[in-house]
Amino acid sequence: MSQGDLVIYEEQIEKIEKTLGRLIKNAQARCVLMVDKDGHLITRQGFTQSLDTTALAALLAGSFASTQEIARLLGEPEFSILFHQGKKDHIHITLVGERTILAIIFDDRTTLGMVRLYAKEACENLEKILSFANQKISQTEGEKKTDLDSELSASIESKLDDIFSEPS
Q: Any idea what DSSP says for residue 77?
A: S
40: in domain: yes
Could you give the number of structural domains in the chain? 1
Q: What is the mean pLDDT of residues 42-59?
A: 94
> At 143, phi and psi to the nearest 5?
-65, -40
Backbone angles phi, psi at 149, to 5 degrees: -60, -40
- CATH number of the CATH domain containing 86: 3.30.450.30
- Across the chain, mean pLDDT equals 85
Position 131 scores a pLDDT of: 84
Report yes or no on 3 lying in a domain: no
pLDDT tens digits, one per residue of 58-100: 999 999 999 999 999 999 998 989 999 999 999 999 999 888 9
Whether residue 123 has pLDDT greater than 80: yes
What is the predicted pLDDT for the residue at 8? 82
- Residue 138 predicted with pLDDT over 60: no
Q: What's the pLDDT at 100?
A: 94
Spell 120-141 as b/e; 16+ CB within 10 A means b: eebbebbeebbeebbeebeeee
Residue 4 lies in a domain: no
The answer to whether position 2 is within a domain reads no
Evaluate if residue 150 carries a pLDDT over 70: no
- Please report whether residue 68 resides in a domain: yes
**Contact 105/90 with Cβ under 8 angstroms?**
yes
Kindly state the DSSP code that residue 78 receives in the 8-state scheme.
-
The type of residue at 69 is: E
The closest alpha carbon to 123, from 84, 93, 87, belongs to 93
Determine contact, residues 90/114, Cβ cutoff 8 Å.
Answer: no
Domain hosting residue 67, numbered range:
10-163
Bin 28: left if φ > 0, else alpha if -120 < ψ < 50, else beta: left
CA 12 to chain centre: 10
Angle at CA of residue 88, ends 86 and 91, nearest 5°: 50
Q: Helix H segments across the chain? A: 10-27, 53-73, 112-164
Residue 62 lies in a domain: yes
> What's the pLDDT band for 125 if we cut at 50, 70, 90?
very high
Top pLDDT among 112 and 3 is at 112
pTM: 0.75
On the question of pLDDT at 143 being above 50, the answer is: yes
pLDDT at 55 over 50: yes
Q: Are 96 and 119 within 8 A, CB to CB?
A: no
Quick check: 139 pLDDT over 60?
Answer: no
